[in-house]
Amino acid sequence: MATGQLFSRNTQALFYNYKQLPIQRMLDFDFLCGRETPSVAGIINPGSEGFQKLFFGQEEIAIPVHAAIEAACAAHPTADVFINFASFRSAAASSMAALKQPTIKVVAIIAEGVPESDTKQLIAYARANNKVIIGPATVGGVQAGAFKIGDTAGTIDNIIQCKLYRPGSVGFVSKSGGMSNEMYNTIARVTDGIYEGIAIGGDVFPGSTLSDHILRFNNIPQIKMVVVLGELGGRDEYSLVEAMKQGKVTKPVVAWVSGTCARLFKSEVQFGHAGAKSGGEMESAQAKNQALKDAGATVPTSFEALESAIKETFDKLVEEGKVSPIKEVTPPQIPEDLSSAIKSGKVRAPTHIISTISDDRGEEPCYAGVPMSSIIEQGYGVGDVISLLWFKRSLPRYCTKFIEICIMLCADHGPCVSGAHNSIVTARAGKDLVSSLVSGLLTIGPRFGGAIDDAARYFKDACDRNLTPYEFVEGMKKKGIRVPGIGHRIKSRDNRDKRVELLQKFARSNFPAVKYMEYAVQVETYTLSKANNLVMNVDGAIGSLFLDLLAGSGMFTKQEIDEIVQIGYLNGLFVLARSIGLIGHTFDQKRLKQPLYRHPWEDVLYTK
C-alpha cells in the first residue's frame, strides 16, 4: 500500500445507499473548508434515479442519483472514493463492484458485521489491484481542510473546535471512530491540529491496517508527527513495530494501546469492537505498548498522559524548527437549517397549508377530531365520514343517511349520459383508470350533474324572498336563465324520475321540515303548466332537500348555509357519487376488452 496522500481539496466521492445526514455533513464540511465544488459527485440508490436536493452552504444543489454503480462511475469519472453505507448483508457485494471500477481508488465500508470471509476477499482484491479499503466498521477518515467521509468528526461544532477546517501537522490513525473524534479534539488542544485522520475500523480483519496508513503518513511532507491509538486484540500493532525497527517510519510516533484494564478481569473480556479481544499475552494492551516503546515510539504511562506526550513531542518539533506556525483562519458560518432554528426558537416561519378537517400527527389519523378507531368502533358510515370531513361535525343519522342515499341514487345513470360516454371512449382508447375517470368528471357542469348548487342557490333566494313560483320563473326567464333543477330530456309529467320520488319520500318521513322542497314542488307545478318535460330533476331534488337538511338540523348558521351553497358543496355530492359509476364503466370496458371506439358516419350530419 504505502504511497502517500489519499485525498485532496478536489477529491470527489460516490455515496452508496442514500443517507441525508452524512451527505449533508460532508457538504457542510466542504463549505467550511472553502471548497469550490461539493465532495459528493453522485449518489447510488439501487433501483432509483433522479436527483436529491441538499445544501452547499446557503445554495441548494441537486446531486444526481444513479441506479447502478457502473452508471455512476461512468457519469462521474473523476470521483475516486466510494463511500458505502450499505447494510452488512450487501456491503461486501457492492464494495467489490466498486473496487472493480477503474475510476475508484478508495472504498470506505461503514457497516459492522460484514462476514469475515467476504472481507478477506475484498482485502485480497484491493491489494492485488493497488486500491485502498477503509473499514469495515469504520466512521471513515478526514483530511483537514480538504475532504471527509460521512460522519467523520461528528458535528460542525466539533469540527470547528478540532480545527479540521484547515490542515495541521499531525497524522492520526485509530481503530475506533468514536475515539477518533475525541482524539481530534485532544490533538487540536496541544498541537496545530491534524493533517489527516483515519479510523480503520474495529473488525478482526480491517481492510487496511494501522501500519499501512502510518507508512503513508511517512511519505506525506506536510505530516510532521504521527499519533496512533490501538487496542487490545489482534497483532496489527506489531506490523508497525517491525516497520519502525526497520527504519521505515522516520517521523516521531506517539502511541497508546487501550485495554490495559483487561487484566483486572479473571476471564477473557470482549470489548466493543469485534477485534478488541485478547487472545493471549502478545495481544494484550500492555505487551503492545511495551513493544511500541521498545521500537522507538513515545508511549505514555496511561491514556490520561497521552495528551501530555503528544504536546511534548509537538513542542520539540517546533523548537527544532521542523514545524512552521500555521496561520489561523476564521471559518465561514454554516447556515442553520430552518427546522433546527425553529426548534431552538431562533426564528419564526409561517406554515404553507392550513388544515382543519383532519390530523395525521398522532398515533392514529383523526377526522374533525374523531379518532379513526372511534369511527370504526362506533359503526360510522360513509355519510358520517363525509359529515366530518366536509362539514366538520357529526350530523344526525337521518342527515348522513340522506347523504348516502344521494350517493347511491347518483352513482350511475347508464352508459349514454355524457360523463359515462366519455369514460367509456377513453377506456376503449387504452387509457388508465384515472384518465378515464377524469375524462368523465370533466363533463360535469351546468348542463350535466352540476346544477345542484345553482338549484339550491336560486330556490333558496326565491323562497327566502317569498317570491311566488310565477314571479320566480318569469323573473328567471327575463334574465335569460334556465331554472336549475327543472327540466329533463326523458322524464315528464307522466314519467317522473323515480330518484326524485325516493328522495322526497325519505325527506317527508325523516326531516323536521321540508320548506324548500315544497317550494321547489310548487315551482315544478307552475313549470309543468308550460311544458310536459319541465319536471323536477334529481339536481333540483337534492338541491332543495339539502337546504332543508342544513336549515332543519339546527347545526348550521345562516352564514354557514350560504357559504356551503356558494363554495359548491352540493355539486361535490354528485362528483363523489358519479365517480363510482364512471369507475364501473371503465372496468366494464376493460373487462370486456372493447376495441377503440369510432363514432359511426351515419350518426353524423356532414354539411357545408
Which residues does the annotation mark as catalytic? 273
- The kind and range of the H/E element at 236 are helix 236-245
- What's the start-to-end Cα distance of the chain, in Å? 88
Q: Three cell numbers at 311?
A: 504536546
SS3 251: coil
For 353, 384, 387, 393, the CA distances from 368, given in Å and listed in that order, are: 16, 11, 9, 7
Residues near 58 by beta carbon (within 8 Å), at least 6 away in sequence: 335
From residue 132, give the alpha-carbon distance in Å to each of 128, 137, 395, 523, 558. 10, 15, 70, 89, 77
With beta carbons less than 8 A apart as the criterion, state whether 17 and 84 touch. Answer: yes
**What is the rounded CA–CA span in Å between residue 27 and residue 35?**
9
What grid cell was written down for 474? 318569469
CB 14 within 8 A of CB 79: yes
In the structure grid, which three cell numbers stand for residue 233, read together? 486484540
Which residue, 199, 282, 221, 293, is CA-closest to 253? 293
Query: Per the structure block, which three cell numbers stand in for 86?
Result: 450499505
Let me know: does 42 contact 15? Beta carbons within 8 Å: yes
- In angstroms, what CA-CA distances link 282 with 127, 275, 292? 27, 14, 12
Nearest to 105 by CA among 3, 6, 2, 205: 6
CB 367: neighbour CB atoms within 10 A?
21
Given a contact cutoff of 8 angstroms between Cβ atoms, the answer to whether 528 and 440 are in contact is: no
The single residue listed with the C-alpha cell 488542544 is 189
Q: How far apart are alpha carbons 205 and 274 in whole angstroms? A: 9
Amino acid, res. 117: S
In the chain, the amino acid numbered 120 is K
- 53 HSE (CA, 13 A, CB side): 3
Angle at 491 between CA 489 and CA 492, to 5 degrees: 110
Place of cell 358543496: 569
Reading the block at residue 7, the C-alpha cell is 485525498
Of the candidates 12, 341, 338, 309, which has an alpha carbon nearest to the alpha carbon of residue 149?
12
Q: Assess contact for 342 and 295: CB atoms under 8 A.
A: no
CB 338 within 8 A of CB 58: no
The CA distance from 164 to 119, in Å, is: 31
C-alpha cell at 547: 337546504
Cell 445554495 -> residue: 59
Distance CA(311)–CA(440), nearest Å, equals: 80
Contact indicator for 277, 233 with CB cutoff of 8 Å: yes
